[in-house]
């Protein structure tokens, strides 16, 4: 900042000062506008009508015409009298008191103010009145009751006590909505215009209390800030080099605090110190003298030569003003009050002129002081306006706080300059060391991939083939694992030591899609553009040729380049493109950001370099990121170039090898050396690495009860490694190479776990996770992400997308198995809960249903034996259907479900007779199969919570509609309806009881089987419709539930 300020011309300083002053004035005017109350009703002829006023809008200033009775005391209850004078409030009363004939009137005397207020009759609101300033004593009566006051007003000067502090009184209006305010006021000390000189405010008790608390808090905040500055300046003076500026600065801030706390708004020091009216004035004027003196002393070295000759006399003037303030009566001090204002004004003006004259020589040292003086002058100006005009706004401390802060920056500049270079070097070294450690940690992590691949495959072979191998072979494999683990530990230490000296990590080449890398990285960076108009674009085609490089290093390169582009681009777009040129793949990252000049482009790839004046404001700068990109690309034997135009943007381009037949052969040899082929069964890797690994019919039948895992990775080799690690755990695994294919087969069967790589073509693992979460909750279908980056922000991004867990690549076999088992157990427990709920619904016979049915049978036995026999037959059918042994999770023919519904409805119709009417509209759907107990809970819900809630009953309509590819089943009633979908409240406490566990369980089972749940439409008083869709293709492929 100092270098920037030193380059500023005098004209720029003037412009900055003017802009700063305008900003301060604008802020103050905005503050006044916010608290302005000019659009409120005004009193007229002693009456203020507030009937119909919305008290939520805030308080009302009781401005306007009050009745004034000079030389009289009113107590309340009197009607308006002819001798009442109309006086404008706020304002002085001098012209209304009998005086000595002077044109300004008489400030001394006493009298009563009276105002009648009309509010809405019958209101029980508790009101409060806030009186900020009445010169110089007052007592407030409301509806004849004395409630509050400041000082002791009297008709005699001997019994009068002057005191002018804010106060609040609370009360309620009478039944007719009338409020009578009477304020007795007396003044025998203050020669200024007296009476009610600031707006009295009326509002609710809470609103008045909040305003008073805010005002006190703001003034208290300012006082604390000034005391802190004064305290540490004095301490530094006493224990330091005895720089006199520190002592004067301490005096200045203390004087400002005293002047503000004794003379402004809430006068907070009066609340804690027993200071009477006279000494309050003395302290304020003593502080004004202290401000004038200490302000010039703080800038004594910058004062012009002519003022230095006058300065001693001015100091004597300030000393005399201080003595006058201490020893003269308050009345005399008030008479010479303009002198104190002039002394302070001269001090401020001279100091500003001095700083403007000397600012060109030492910009860095004086511009902050100039700004401080502008802020202080602005505060003094508005303070004077406030005193003279009685402006009714909230206390505003921010000018003084800014002024003090700028002053402090000047006085302690030398201290910071002495340590700036040392601290800067230390911070730069620490930052470089931290970034270096992070880089080296990532490097050692990536170099362990080959060893971990061997360890994972060896561990898989040992666990899978342990009982088929000879004992000698088993022991040799165990030795391989033991030695491999020891080698891993040694390698970590060795790579760390080597990286400190050589900084050259070993690359692991493979063939991969640069489009997949770009998709995954852009998805990770989406959160960085929140709140901006920056658009992230992937212009690499889906079918772009594969490259041959270290995939994890390329991810790091692309991430750093895109991250850098996003940070320095505030609008427009950041795009990644690729093209083939002369057997090379050229990948470019372009942006429409701030750009760079030629000098910056020469230094951009140097370690710890940051280009651009705005870089300091960007959190977590990339001073090392581009250097890392350059080194990693150089390790591949390739190059990184930059082209940029200031103000238009930049383009970074790097080259990579194009994957050809030779690199593919090297990759296959590497896979073979890792023993992937030996880790798989005879039906493992197909010739074209198809999306889904082939499964025989026998395998599917034997794995029917095993957890089903869907593996997603665009690299078939990585899929085989994952399958090898998880084979021993007897999972039913299906592998695909794209997110779109995974979404296509998501509903073909019930999956227990999704394991997906983050870097996928067209749709990243994050996007896939978000898409799955729109259909399945976190407990219905767990998701495990595999990521090459383990930074906290990357992990957090995965969890925000909806992942349950993550594993950092290279994958540790034990960690992956543990996390997979934990997540499949989550799905298992969810399925078990759903099954238990279904079993409960299937087995339950509600006591009231059984009791009511038996009671109805008994009653029919005495009046109608035929109806009794029909009801017994229906009840027997219902019980028989209830107690059939079904596979709760499997479907049944729709005829069986409808049979259960018919028997249930026959019983209910016998009970409710004319109150219950059932309408059947059934299309032919013989081959349709649905989950057990899906229609019956809907019918029961319609009866219990719908039509039977009405005294006259109602109609239930059961409809089965047949369409080409699906069937729709709907249960509709004309009952009482509801105003909220119970399924939306199923996570709330008590929601199951109110909505019915049947609806929630049915919704979950339908979603699990068909991917869609219940659709509920309802209007209070109009009825409810609950429907669901059955996909015929899915229904036809489901086995019928076995029963007995």
Question: Strand pairing of 753-757 and 783-787?
Answer: parallel
Q: Quick one: 361 and 236 in the same domain? A: yes
Residue 153, pLDDT score: 93
In the chain, the percentage of residues whose pLDDT exceeds 70 is 75
Q: Quick one: 851 and 834 in the same domain? A: no
Least confident of 421-430, 976-985, 1006-1015: 976-985
Q: Quick one: 731 and 819 in the same domain? A: yes
Residue 837, pLDDT score: 57
Would 37 be classed as within a structural domain? Answer: no
Which are the contacts of 118, defined by CB distance < 8 A and separation ≥ 6? 47, 48, 49, 50, 51, 177, 178, 179
Cα 422 to Cα 435: distance, rounded to the nearest angstrom: 20
Residue 667, pLDDT score: 54
The C-alpha R_g of the chain, in whole angstroms, comes to 43
Q: Quick one: 829 and 726 in the same domain? A: yes
What CATH number did the domain enclosing 70 receive?
A: 2.60.120.260
Would 738 be classed as within a structural domain? Answer: yes
Closest CA to 892 of 931, 851, 847, 854: 931
Q: Do residues 544 and 514 make contact, with C-beta atoms less than 8 angstroms apart? A: yes
- Whether pLDDT at 990 is above 50: no
- Whether pLDDT at 266 is above 80: no
Task: Give the domain range for residue 920.
Answer: 844-1036
Q: Quick one: 114 and 233 in the same domain? A: no
Q: How confident is the model at residue 48 (pLDDT cuts 50, 70, 90)?
A: very high
Q: Quick one: 776 and 851 in the same domain? A: no
Q: Do residues 634 and 591 make contact, with C-beta atoms less than 8 angstroms apart? A: no
Is 179 exposed, middle or buried (CB count within 10 Å of its CB: 0-12, 13-18, 19+)? buried
Which residue, of 785, 818, 838, is where some domain finishes? 838
Q: Quick one: 267 and 368 in the same domain? A: yes
Would 26 be classed as within a structural domain? Answer: no
Which residue, of 454, 480, 501, is where some domain finishes? 501
- CA distances in angstroms from 31 to 201, 388, 396, 520, 879, listed in the order given: 18, 19, 8, 48, 77
Least confident of 2-6, 567-571, 833-837, 879-883: 2-6
Would 1014 be classed as within a structural domain? Answer: yes
pLDDT tens track for 649-676: 899 999 999 887 555 545 544 543 443 4
Q: Quick one: 161 and 306 in the same domain? A: no
Would 204 be classed as within a structural domain? Answer: no
Cβ-count burial 467-500 (b if 16+ within 10 Å, e if not) = eeeeeeeeeebeebeeebeeeeeebeeebeebbe
Q: Quick one: 938 and 913 in the same domain? A: yes
Torsion over CA: 220, 226, 227, 228 (sign): positive
Would 756 be classed as within a structural domain? Answer: yes
Q: Quick one: 563 and 493 in the same domain? A: no
What CATH number did the domain enclosing 1019 receive?
A: 3.30.565.10
Residue 585, pLDDT score: 92
Total number of domains in the chain = 6
Least confident of 44-53, 938-947, 977-986: 977-986
Q: Quick one: 850 and 728 in the same domain? A: no
Would 376 be classed as within a structural domain? Answer: yes
pLDDT tens track for 173-203: 988 889 999 999 999 988 888 899 888 999 9
Residue 442, pLDDT score: 54
Q: How confident is the model at residue 971 (pLDDT cuts 50, 70, 90)?
A: very high
Q: Quick one: 993 and 1016 in the same domain? A: yes
Would 38 be classed as within a structural domain? Answer: no
| Three-state DSSP class for residue 835 | helix
Is 778 exposed, middle or buried (CB count within 10 Å of its CB: 0-12, 13-18, 19+)? middle
Cα 804 to Cα 823: distance, rounded to the nearest angstrom: 8
Which residue in this structure is represented by tokens 């399958």?
723
Q: How confident is the model at residue 102 (pLDDT cuts 50, 70, 90)?
A: low
Bigger pLDDT: 368 vs 838: 368
- Length of the chain (residues): 1044
| Three-state DSSP class for residue 633 | helix
What CATH number did the domain enclosing 712 receive?
A: 3.40.50.2300
pLDDT tens track for 375-418: 877 877 787 776 666 566 677 888 878 877 887 777 667 666 65
Residue 340, pLDDT score: 85
Which residue, of 382, 411, 440, is where some domain finishes? 411
Q: How confident is the model at residue 993 (pLDDT cuts 50, 70, 90)?
A: very low
Average pLDDT estimate for 216-230 = 85
């Amino acid at each position: 900042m100092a270098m920037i300020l030193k380059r500023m011309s005098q004209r720029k300083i003037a412009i900055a000062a003017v802009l700063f002053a305008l900003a301060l004035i604008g802020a103050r005017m905005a503050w006044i506008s916010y608290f302005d109350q000019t659009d409120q009703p005004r009193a007229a002829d002693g009456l203020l009508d507030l009937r119909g006023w919305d008290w939520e809008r805030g308080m009302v200033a009781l401005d306007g015409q009050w009745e004034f009775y000079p030389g009289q005391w009113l107590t309340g209850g009197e009607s308006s009298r002819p001798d009442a004078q109309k006086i404008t409030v706020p304002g002085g009363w001098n012209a209304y008191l009998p005086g000595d004939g002077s044109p300004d009137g008489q400030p001394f005397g006493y009298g009563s103010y009276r105002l009648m207020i009309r509010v809405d009759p019958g209101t029980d609101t508790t009101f409060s009145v806030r009186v900020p300033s009445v010169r110089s004593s007052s007592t407030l009566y409301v509806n004849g009751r004395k409630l509050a006051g400041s000082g002791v007003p009297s008709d005699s000067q001997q019994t009068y006590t002057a005191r002018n502090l804010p106060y609040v009184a609370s009360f309620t209006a009478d039944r007719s909505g009338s409020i009578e305010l009477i304020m007795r006021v007396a003044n025998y000390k203050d020669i200024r215009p007296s009476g009610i000189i600031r707006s009295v405010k009326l509002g609710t008790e809470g609103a008045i209390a909040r305003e008073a608390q805010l005002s006190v808090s703001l003034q208290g905040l300012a006082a604390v800030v000034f005391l802190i500055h004064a305290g540490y300046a004095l301490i530094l003076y006493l224990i330091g080099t005895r720089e006199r500026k520190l002592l004067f600065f301490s005096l200045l801030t203390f004087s400002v605090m005293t002047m503000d706390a004794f003379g402004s708004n809430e006068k907070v020091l009066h609340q804690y110190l027993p200071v009477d009216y006279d000494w309050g004035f003395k302290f304020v004027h003593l502080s004004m003298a202290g401000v004038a003196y200490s302000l010039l002393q703080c800038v004594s070295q910058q004062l012009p030569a002519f003022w230095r000759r006058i300065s001693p006399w001015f100091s004597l003037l300030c000393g005399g003003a201080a003595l006058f303030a201490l020893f003269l009566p308050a009345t005399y001090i008030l008479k010479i009050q303009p002198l104190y204002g002039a002394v302070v004004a001269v001090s401020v003006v001279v100091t500003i002129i001095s700083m403007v004259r000397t600012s060109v020589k030492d910009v860095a040292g004086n511009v902050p002081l100039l700004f401080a003086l502008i802020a202080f002058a602005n505060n003094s100006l508005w303070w004077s306006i406030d005193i003279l005009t009685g402006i009714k706004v909230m206390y505003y401390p921010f000018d003084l706080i800014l002024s003090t802060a700028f002053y402090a920056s000047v006085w302690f500049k030398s201290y910071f300059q002495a340590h700036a270079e040392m601290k800067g070097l230390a911070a730069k070294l620490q930052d470089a060391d931290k970034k270096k450690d992070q880089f080296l940690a990532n490097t050692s992590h990536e170099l362990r991939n080959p060893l971990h691949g061997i360890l994972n495959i060896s561990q898989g072979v040992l666990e899978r083939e342990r009982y088929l191998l000879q004992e000698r072979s088993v022991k040799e494999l165990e030795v391989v694992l033991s030695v491999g683990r020891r080698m891993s530990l040694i390698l970590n230490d060795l790579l760390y030591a080597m990286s400190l000296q050589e900084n050259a990590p070993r690359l692991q080449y493979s063939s991969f899609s640069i489009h997949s890398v770009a998709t995954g990285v852009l998805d990770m960076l989406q959160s960085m553009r929140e709140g901006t108009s920056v658009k992230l674009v992937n212009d690499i085609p889906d079918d772009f040729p594969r490259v041959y490089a270290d995939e994890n290093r390329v991810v790091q390169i692309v991430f750093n380049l895109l991250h850098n582009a996003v940070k320095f681009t505030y609008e427009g777009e950041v795009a990644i493109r690729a093209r083939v040129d002369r057997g090379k793949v050229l990948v470019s990252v372009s942006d429409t950001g701030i750009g760079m000049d030629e000098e910056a482009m020469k230094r951009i790839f140097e370690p710890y370099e940051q280009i651009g004046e705005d870089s300091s404001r960007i959190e977590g700068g990339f001073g090392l990121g581009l250097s890392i990109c350059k080194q990693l690309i150089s390790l591949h034997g390739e190059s990184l170039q930059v082209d940029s135009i200031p103000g238009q943007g930049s383009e970074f381009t790097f080259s990579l090898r194009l994957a050809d037949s030779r690199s593919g052969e090297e990759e296959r040899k590497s896979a073979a050396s890792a023993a992937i082929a030996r880790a798989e069964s005879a039906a493992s890797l197909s010739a074209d690495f198809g999306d889904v690994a082939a499964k025989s019919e026998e395998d599917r039948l034997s794995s029917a009860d095993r957890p089903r895992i869907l593996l997603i990775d665009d690299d078939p080799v990585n899929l085989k490694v994952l399958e090898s690690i998880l084979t021993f755990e007897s999972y039913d695994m299906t592998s695909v190479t794209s997110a779109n294919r995974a979404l296509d087969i998501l509903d073909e069967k019930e999956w227990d776990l999704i394991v997906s790589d983050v870097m996928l073509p067209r749709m990243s693992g994050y996007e896939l996770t978000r898409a799955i979460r729109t259909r399945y909750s976190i407990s219905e279908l767990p998701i495990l992400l595999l990521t090459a980056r383990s930074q906290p922000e990357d992990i957090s991004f995965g969890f925000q997308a909806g992942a349950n867990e993550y594993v950092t690549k290279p994958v540790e076999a034990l960690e992956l198995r543990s996390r997979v088992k934990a997540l499949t157990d989550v799905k298992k427990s969810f399925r078990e809960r759903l099954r238990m709920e279904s079993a409960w619904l299937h087995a339950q016979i509600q006591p009231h249903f059984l009791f009511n049915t038996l009671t109805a049978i008994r009653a029919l036995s005495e009046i109608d034996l035929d109806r009794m026999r029909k009801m017994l037959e229906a009840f027997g059918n219902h019980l028989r259907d209830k107690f059939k042994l079904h596979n709760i999770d499997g479907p049944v023919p729709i005829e069986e479900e409808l049979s259960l519904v018919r028997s249930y409805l026959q019983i209910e119709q016998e009970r409710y007779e004319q109150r219950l009417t059932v309408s059947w509209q059934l299309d032919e759907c013989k081959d349709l199969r649905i989950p057990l107990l899906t229609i019956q809970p809907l019918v029961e819900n319609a009866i219990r919570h719908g039509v039977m809630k009405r005294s006259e009953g109602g109609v239930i309509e059961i409809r089965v509609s047949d369409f080409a590819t699906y069937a729709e089943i709907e249960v509709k009633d004309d009952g009482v309806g509801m105003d909220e979908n119970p399924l939306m409240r199923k996570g709330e406490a008590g929601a199951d009881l109110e909505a019915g566990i049947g609806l929630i369980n049915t919704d979950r089972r339908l979603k699990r089987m068909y991917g869609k749940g219940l659709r509920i439409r309802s209007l209070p008083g109009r009825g409810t419709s609950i429907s669901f869709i059955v996909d015929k293709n899915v229904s036809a492929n489901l086995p019928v539930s076995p029963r007995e």
